[in-house]
Structure 1
Amino acid sequence: MALDLGARWDKKFQQWMASRIPPRESVTLDRKIIYIIPSSNGLMFVVAAGLVFIAAINYAVSLAFGLAFLMVSIFILAILHCFNNLNQLTFTGLASRAVFAGEQATFRVKITRSPTRKHEALHLNFPGENSSHADLFINDQVEVDVFAAASKRGYFKAPLLKTTTYYPLGLCRAWSVLDLNLRCLVYPKPIPFVMSQFNIGSGGTDDSAIIKEGSEDFYGLRDYVPGDSMRQVAWKNVARGQGMQVKQFVDYVDNKVWLDWDMFYGFNTEERLSRLCYCILKLSKQDKPFGMKIPGSEIPPDTGPEHKKKLLRTLALFGVE
């Protein structure tokens, strides 16, 4: 119960923060958006300084006064250095690659420092996720990957990004919350199944057509076999003394594979999309043309990485655009 209340409170707090922070692709930190408070170690340090000061008053020990003032000075300097470790840093959101639902989405953030300062012990994370570490000593900029769980297909907008530092002594915690307008495309989660049960990808090796016996196109002649229709006999050849031969007719059947929405009758929308996604991944490895038909979209057969991306993108955005 307490965990549920905490999760709901955290969600409402994130929504409140998001309403106050406008999305921007690049943000430079300054005193208006940097927050700083004592850490747990810092509070203990302040309490210790207070106790030393009280002892100095009670026992009139000048050395204790000096120690108390030294501790206060260290704490004040820690505040200034902790603040300056974030001040004037510029954060820029970069492009993110697509992932499948249930995977960790990777968002790349570029951090640029001012020429006159060095920054270290920076931590970047989304709420509830592990932190990524960054230092800027030699290079003026660095790129950091920050991770967030992508649970649903479609466009996934990253949560608010928090950057934190405890530099230099861990006595203070300075942080800022940013919305870099980061997002990535999330494909449906592929569900493995036996494709042959649905007659998928079971055609021949020819890229365009297979041939079966039929009645559409003349294919050639073969020797007469008892039981053949007399109407198919090439009588002109018989008249020329070439023996009994039978005309062969064939039908050409398109061998390009089509993935069809109706193949998975009885499954709900997300299950159909997940199975189609699995088919796309498997058929792309065979380098054979295949297309897809789903409600509102028909993509003709083709091959290659771009065709694969187009198909997966269509599935990811089905019903959400």
Structure 2
Amino acid sequence: MENSATPPWWAWHARLRAWWLARVPLADTLALTQGNVYILPTRAGWMLAATLAVLLVASINYQLNLGYLLTFLLAGCAAAGMVVGHGTLRGLTLHLPPPQPLFAGGLAVLDVKLANARRTPRHAIGVALRDTRHWAWADVPAGGEATVQVSFQPARRGLHRVPALTVETRFPLGTFRVWTVWHPAAQVLVYPAPEPLPPALPLGEPRAGSGLAGGARATGEFDGVRGYQRGDPMKLIVWKKFAKSGELVARDTLHMQRQALWLDFARAGALGTEGRLSRLAAWVLAADAQGLDYGLRLPGIQIAPAGGAAQRLRCLQALATC
């Protein structure tokens, strides 16, 4: 139900803007042409027009030749500024590389690239999220490109479409606002925010046919460790133990082969859906930092145990979109 205090004309204005924005095509690369660049006078431009009208009327009434000269000189400058301002955006190419994933609560940073194929530079071009005033300004060199950064904070985890952007300039006189609206097709992936102080990793489960009970230390490390032997891979060294006691030990690969570390949604505690996902995200980061192989169980999703950066990204993506 609409607010009764909202004027009817404003509601129609909002609907018209929403309808028009829905018609803007989705594209990560946009070439600005005469068909998608708009221009209107600014408040200063309207004031200049009113001043010119007063000067013209006074010059006609008092037959002031210098008044005519000043009026038409200022009008010519304003008209030239309109052409220059429109040409500052026309012919520019906008490109948005895929945004980097982030954890919930962080800022999604967009690197907007402005490419100029013209032999002359373009000045004072601003980029901002639509309906905001946080502008990022840049001059684009002749035959080159410039990059500006704008950011926004996604509301929650998941896959979010990048909001519409406004690109504008008021160069050279500030009397005309030249702008375009750009709706990128890119999406940003937001992982659950890791729990700040998660409990230790869950106990390892025996692999099929191993015949051994799984176990884990209270610190989240597997029990199977042995003294360091020359030639052991660096990823097998238990660095936390070395930092505490100065003893250099490595994980027992035979023991690890008999264990399966599963990060299970059902065993993440009675925290609610978002709380469990946050704990699982923290466990994924902890297991990855220790160089462990681990698997992930979510409702309707099971990722087999593995290790490395690819496994970490696979699990975080599943947590973000489940």
- Normalization by structure 1: what TM-score? 0.76
Pairwise mapping of residues 1-321 of structure 1 onto structure 2 (< 5 A)?
12=15, 15-129=18-132, 130-196=134-200, 202-204=220-222, 206=224, 254-318=258-322
Select the structure of larger CA radius of gyration.
1
Determine the C-alpha separation between the residues in 1 that align with 2:202 and 2:6.
Answer: 43
Give the Cα–Cα distance (whole angstroms) in 2 for the partners of residues 7 and 96 of structure 1.
Answer: 34
Maintained 8 Å contact 1:207/1:255: no
Summarize the Cα distance change of 1:81–1:40 in structure 2 as closer, same or farther, 3 Å threshold: same
CA RMSD of aligned residues (A): 3.0
C-alpha distance in 2 between matches for 1:304 and 1:3: 57
> Using the alignment, how far apart are the partners of 2:166 and 2:4 within structure 1?
24
Match of 1:211 in 2: none
1:106–1:148 contact (8 Å) kept in structure 2? yes
Q: Would the aligned equivalents of 2:201 and 2:219 in 1 still touch at CA under 8 Å?
A: no
Contact preservation (8 Å) 2:164, 2:182: yes
Distance (whole Å) between structure 2 residues aligned to residue 198 and residue 7 of structure 1: 56
User: Does the 8 Å CA contact 2:202/2:261 hold for their aligned counterparts?
Assistant: no
Amino acid at match of 2:21: A
Displacement after TM superposition at 1:166 (Å): 0.5
Supply the distance in 2 between the matched residues of 1:2 and 1:139 (Cα, whole angstroms).
53
Structure (1 or 2) with the greater strand fraction: 1
1: CA distance, partners of 2:75 / 2:47: 12
The answer to whether the Cα contact below 8 Å between 2:116 and 2:142 also exists between their aligned partners in 1 is: no
How much has 1:201 moved relative to structure 2? 5.3
Distance verdict in 2 for CA 1:56–1:124, change over 3 Å: same
Mapped partners of 1:192, 1:116: distance in 2: 53
Work out the percentage of aligned pairs sharing the same amino acid: 25
Post-superposition Cα deviations, 1:185-221, rounded to whole Å, max 9, x if no partner, equal: 111222323414977753435379xxxxxxxxxxxxx
After superposition, what is the alpha-carbon deviation per residue over 1:127-185, rounded to whole angstroms, capped at 9, x for unaligned?
Answer: 24422222112452233333222112222111222111111111110001122312121
- Mind listing any 5+ residue stretches in structure 1 that lack a counterpart? 209-251
* Alignment-mate amino acid for residue 87 of structure 2: N
Secondary structure at the aligned position of 2:48 is classed as: helix
Contact 2:105 2:193 in 1 (8 A): yes
Give secondary structure in 1 for the equivalent of 2:150: strand
Query: How far apart are the structure 1 equivalents of 2:319 and 2:86?
Result: 46
> Aligned AA for 1:61?
L
Q: Give the partner amino acid of 1:287.
A: G
Letter of the structure 2 residue corresponding to residue 281 of structure 1: L
1:34 Cα shift?
Answer: 0.9
Whether contact under 8 Å (2:125, 2:168) holds in the other structure is yes
1:228 equivalent in structure 2: none
Q: For 1:33-61, what per-residue CA distance to the aligned partner results, in whole angstroms no more than 9, with x for missing partners?
A: 11100111111111122222222223322
Q: Matches of 2:283 and 2:47 in 1, distance apart?
A: 59
Contact between 1:127 and 1:160, CA under 8 Å: does it hold in 2?
yes
CA contact (8 A) 1:190 1:278 kept: yes
Q: Partners of 1:159 and 1:9 in 2: how far apart?
A: 22
The one-letter amino acid of 2:311's match is H
Compared with structure 1, are the counterparts of its residues 134 and 80 closer, same or farther at alpha carbon in structure 2 (3 Å cutoff)?
same
Mapped partners of 2:27, 2:98: distance in 1? 14
Distance 1:45 1:183, change over 3 A: same
Aligned residues: 275
SS in 1 for 2:86: helix
| 1:139–1:191 distance in 2 versus 1, CA, 3 Å | farther
Q: CA deviation at 1:86?
A: 0.5
Shift in Å, 1:73: 0.9
